[in-house]
Structure 1
Amino acid sequence: MKTKIWQLPALLLLLGLTACSQQSTSQQSQISKQPSMTNYLPKPYVEIEHPAWVKNATIYEVNVRQYTPQGTFNAFAEHLPRLKALGVDILWLMPIHPIGDKNRKGEKGSYYAVKDYMAVNPEFGTLDDFKALVDRAHSMDMYVIIDWVANHSAWDNPLTETNPQWYTKDHNGNFQPTPWWDWSDIIDFDYQNPEMREYMTNALKYWVKETNIDGYRADVAGFIPTDFWDNVRTELDDIKPVFMLAEWDARDLHKKAFDMSYAWKLHDTLEAVNKGDKDASGVYHYFAHALNAWPDNAIKMNFVDNHDKNSWEQSMFERHGPYLEASIVLTVTAEGMPLLYSGQEAGLDRSLAFFDKDEISWQSHPIGDLYKSLFTLKHQNKALWNGNWGGKMIPVPNNKPKQVFSFARIKDGDKVFVAINFSDQPTQVQFNENIQLGQYQEYFSQTATNLVPESTLTIPAYGYRVYVKQ
């Protein structure tokens, strides 16, 4: 059929509209294939939800063997009222499992050479004794986590006979300790084996179900693939909300698996101050890095002592010297959860034997009084709470940055301003900020203080000031 001349303009218009329509449809199709704007919205890095009772909690490491003459769960339980009065919330028990005999170090052996993941060390008591301890702690609004050694076992763990394929082997095909470390009393698991992962996961679930514990401290957590811990956390939370502490210092562990990890570098910085290798500016630089590099709501565990430091690197007094009290004040008032190790509150001034019996001597001590006072403030003042429940540290620059470290924290009307003299000389200091201004009561002296722009503070050598908003 022929097209009439007068019909051509209309036809061309129709063709043009069709082409435009097709182009528009194509463009819309291309746009629809682009990522949605929701893909660019910020998401919290820490995906897990901390148990509500963590908000203002403190943590205490229990060395059962050395705690009492008996070295048992029942004997330790008698200390619970004292620890509650001290301000302790979370009890972390070093490994409670039977210890291997083969290649044992010392008479008693290492807690971390586990012979049976499904049993209790008979030196400490029975499974029922342990359950009673957990129940008693819960009745006092305290929580219990146990140390878990997932990376390795004792040489004579029955798994070496029933499932030798679950362990790594050396170049000769023999069991091996973790390479490059002097851990001759243990041998390494192989986390490339899915059956081994399943066993370890089920063992972790068993203790939560059977004894109602509230979580775990994971020994050398970074030696184990992160995806293992991610899955473990999901399966444990299906039983009950748990609290997980990683003996490691890596941000990725916080994403799905762990509530808290060690502030190793803070301890080392404070020790370096005592040795004269760093001054207050080194403390400032630590927080400048840590608070920018670590995600919000990832809790760091602050400490001046723990079983590793005490056992192998002398006492807290020798490592921190005259800066010990100032360091304790910082570890409780800075962002993070403070740790107290067995015996610190009694002024533990020596290294406890790790492989043998070496009982703690209990006494009243100023260090215990200091922790009790600081724990009371932490419980009551929201600015010092943990994770996103608490206030972020705000630097308060001053005119003596090599001597004095100063910061503020604010949350829901609560405010704390801290100034610590990390030097051996009394220091007069002024501050170059406005966040610290206001009416306060100095926490330790109970002195009312009005901080104005011209205020000058005199802080004694190794001293500290903690100002609480009125």
Structure 2
Amino acid sequence: MKRFIIAALAVTMLTACKNETSEKSVKKEDEKGKTLSPINDSILGQSVIYEANIRQYSPEGTFNEFTKDIPQLKELGVKVIWLMPVYPISSVKRKAADGRFAEEIEDPKEREKILGSYYAISDYTGINPEFGTLEDFQELVKTAHGNGMYVILDWVANHTGWDHVWIEEHPEFYTKNENGEIIDPINPDTGESWGWTDVADLNYDNKELWTEMRKDMRYWVEEQNIDGFRCDVAGEVPTEFWESAVEEMKQVKPIFMLAESEDKDLFEKAFDMGYNWEGHHILNAIAQGKQNAKDLSDYMKKIDTTYQEDDYLMNFVTNHDENSWNGTVNERMGNAAEVMTALSFTLPGMPLIYSGQEYDMQKRLRFFEKDTIPHQQNKFWPILSKLGTLKNESPALDGSKTEAGYSTIKNSDEDVIFSFKRQQNDDEVIFIGNLSDRKKEFNIDLEGQFIDYMNNEKVFVIEKNQKFQFSPWEYKILIIQ
């Protein structure tokens, strides 16, 4: 533990992680001619993932502008970059914010503003010219690899845009109604449309579709050297398809697969990580006074019994869906935003940073039109930097298939005070937080002398039966001195 404490006391110095490389794995060349180990569980265990919204990341909305900032993402502990869909967007039934299609808007200037949903794809192996060229994309990947980061692409296997070539050449790939007309996706629970009218539903009863979809996925791994995929509405696509696709791609090289799903069956052979949607909703509810620390403790017990030991989830306080449709971090979490962010880094799993979160973004990004995130570092950049360093450096926060231990620490007010320990071998990280908007006095089943990690590394002493008073939403991250 002593070696980690030395690193923690010098948080401005980010040390390079030395990761094991599989004997079967090939290595990738970075821009300096060095090598980057193929993505593996050892690396993923102490990683932060960054969701890059290229369109809204900069005023220009291009690959090149994002690429310039890749080196500084290392300050936040980022090791995986997830790019929202980079493919051409369908011009047919291109959706606007008010639900209309662009072609229904008479004013050409207003119509031109409608860029459509990233998830209405017209070509799975193309590049959206809005973002730049294939060469620009390749430079982004090369720069990420040169900075020790991996790149995964958003993959939308459930549906395509209405001008995808398959609409004309392979209409049998699509779901049709009783009149033989291709339809948009249907909610299986209600039998009604999800409302995703700008996309056409794919029918996985057709095994030729499986072959074509696997071929398109493999292209990005084999030809463009990407490191995996985040898969949109993964649970709506047959698990057997994902398993076959992953098996084929792993013949090329190791990959990382993230499912937009909590379905544990997806993790058996296809996916490495899923979304922690339920945990996220509990954090929102606690911040809004609708649930409490005990509910979060109960949930942690639930996932411990629901998932297998090598399953893990992505923790987050925001993402593109939450921001655009449900509100900013501040809208949903208010003064609880910092403690909830700290939980996303210290609980088992991998923490997510969404474009703009690092800059304290206080607006909902437009989804179908151009917008821009702020780029002024304020409160959250240094917080995320410290949390990212801790995540990268402490084996106790290992959150993947070799996950470090998690155990609750008893306290005198478990409806409000949330306390736990993460441990791996001799490394320990302790979290204590007041998950309420009221001052709370409590004691805790813990003794010793610790480093208060977030508070300038000051010594924090806990004696038996000692009383503590935490302000609303106050928290401590402690490491053993």
User: C-alpha displacement at 1:458, in angstroms?
Assistant: 2.3
Structure 1 contact 382–390 (Cα < 8 Å) conserved:
no
Answer whether contact 2:339 2:475 (CA < 8 A) is retained. Answer: yes
Deviates more, 1:138-147 or 1:390-399: 390-399
Give the counterpart of 1:222 among 206, 210, 235.
Answer: 235
SS in 2 for 1:256: coil
5+ unaligned residues in a row in structure 1: which ranges?
1-48
Native 8 Å contact 1:51 1:241 kept in 2 = no
- Tell me how far apart the structure 2 counterparts of residues 438 and 224 of structure 1 sit (CA, whole Å): 51
Which secondary structure does the structure 2 equivalent of 1:169 belong to? coil
CA distance in 1, matches of 2:371, 2:321: 15
Q: Hey, what does 1:36 align to over in structure 2? A: none
Cα distance in 2, alignment partners of residues 250 and 437 from structure 1: 39
Q: For the pair shown, which has the larger CA radius of gyration, 1 or 2? A: 1
Distance in 2 (alpha carbons) for counterparts of 1:120 and 1:52: 32
Give the structure 1 partner of residue 5 of structure 2: none
The separation in 1 between residues aligned to 2:234 and 2:452, in whole angstroms, is: 40
Q: Distance in 1 between matches of 2:45 and 2:469?
A: 34
Q: State the partner residue of 1:32.
A: none
CA contact under 8 A between 2:59 and 2:371: conserved in structure 1? no
Measured in 1, the distance between the counterparts of 2:124 and 2:307 equals 33
Cα shift readout 1:28-61 (whole Å, capped 9, x = no counterpart): xxxxxxxxxxxxxxxxxxxxx9543212111000
Give the AA of the match of 2:397: L
1:60 aligns with 2:45: no
1:40-91 deviations in whole A, cap 9, x for unaligned? xxxxxxxxx9543212111000000011111111111011122122221110
Aligned to 2:374: 361
Q: Distance in 1 between matches of 2:135 and 2:143?
A: 12
Deviations 1:350-395 (CA, angstroms, capped at 9, x unpaired): 1000000011121011112111110111111100012243422101
Q: Assess if the C-alpha contact under 8 Å between 2:315 and 2:345 holds in 1.
A: yes
Q: Return the letter of the residue paired with 1:181.
A: W
Partner residue of 2:475? 464
Contact kept? 2:153, 2:230, Cα under 8 Å = yes
Is 1:147 aligned to 2:154, yes or no?
yes
Q: Partner residue of 1:97?
A: 87
1:198 pairs with 2:211: yes
Verify: 1:77 aligned to 2:87, yes or no: no
For structure 2, the 5+ residue unaligned runs are 1-38, 97-113, 187-192
Whole-angstrom CA distance in 2 between matches of 1:386 and 1:284: 18
1:244 aligns with one of 257, 277, 281: 257
| Secondary structure in structure 2 of the residue aligned to 1:120 | coil
- What is the correspondence of 1:323-334 to structure 2 with a 5 Å cutoff? 323-334=336-347
Q: Deviations over 1:432-452 (max 9, x none)?
A: 4xxx43331111222223434
- 1:11-410 matches, cutoff 5 A: 50-106=40-96, 107-179=114-186, 180-410=193-423
Displacement over 4 Å in runs of 4+? none
d(CA) in 2 for partners of 1:283 and 1:438?
26
Post-superposition Cα deviations, 1:175-200, rounded to whole Å, max 9, x if no partner, equal 11111301000011111111000100
SS at match of 1:211: coil
| Identity across the alignment (%) | 40
Aligned 8 A contact 1:51 1:242 in 2: no
8 Å contact from structure 2 (residues 429, 477) kept in 1: yes
TM-score where L is the length of structure 1: 0.87
TM-score when scaled to structure 2? 0.85
More contact order relative to length (CA 8 Å, sep ≥ 6) = 2
Structure whose residues are more often helix by fraction: 1
Q: How many residues are paired up?
A: 419
- Root-mean-square deviation (CA, aligned residues, Å) is 1.3
Paired with 2:267 and 2:242, the residues of 1 have a C-alpha distance of 10
